[in-house]
Each structure stands twice: as C-alpha cells, then as structure tokens.
Amino acid sequence: MSDVVLKSGRTLKVGDFQWDILPDQLPLEFTDMLLEARHLNGVVYLSFGGAILDDSNKHVVKPVARLRMSLVAAQGLTQALKSIIEDATKPPDIAKAN
C-alpha cells in the first residue's frame, strides 16, 4: 500500500488532469463515532462525531465533520479504507522479527 500525504504546493493527478493542492486551514479533529451514513440522488452523506467524557459522567458527542461526496469518491474512499484496515490488522510477520 502506498501512503498518500497531501500537502499544499503539491499536485494530485486524477485521470489526465493535475490538481493543485491549496493550503490546508482546517483544524484536526479526532472522530470515533459515525453520526450519519446515507445517500440521496448520487450523493453520499457522512457525518462524524467525537465523544466527550468529563467528570460529570455526561456522555456527549461533538459533530466534527460533515462530508458530502459523489458515489465515485465514496468508492475511492471505500477502497482506501479497506487497504488501510487490511494493512493495520495484518498479523506481524514473526520471521522478520529481530
């Protein structure tokens, strides 16, 4: 699997086109809950939340990302996530240990 790290000033090739990557000004948010997953008229809707636990034992979720994407983009995301998860859950190769 190849790592994809996007940085501003670089380009991303999609098909025959080169896309310039603009500077990222978004805050980094951790997500551990899926709040929305649906599709309508060829658009996939995904929303993610981050759990907040405090001393008052109040359990709340802060919505941190709301995504809308084409089915083609969702298929690409599915393939990327599948590859990442397979790589992350592979048992270690004992033959290569030390």
C-alpha–C-alpha distance, residues 33 and 11, integer Å: 31
Choose among 69, 64, 80, 63: nearest CA to 40. Answer: 69
Domain ranges of the chain: 33-90
Q: What is the pLDDT of residues 41-59, one digit of tens each?
A: 999 999 999 998 888 778 8
Percentage of the residues of the chain whose pLDDT score is greater than 70: 89
Q: Rounded distance, CA 52 to CA 61, Å?
A: 6
Of residues 95 and 88, more confidently modeled:
88
Task: Tell me the mean pLDDT in the region 13-36.
Answer: 88
Q: What is the mean pLDDT of residues 56-70?
A: 91
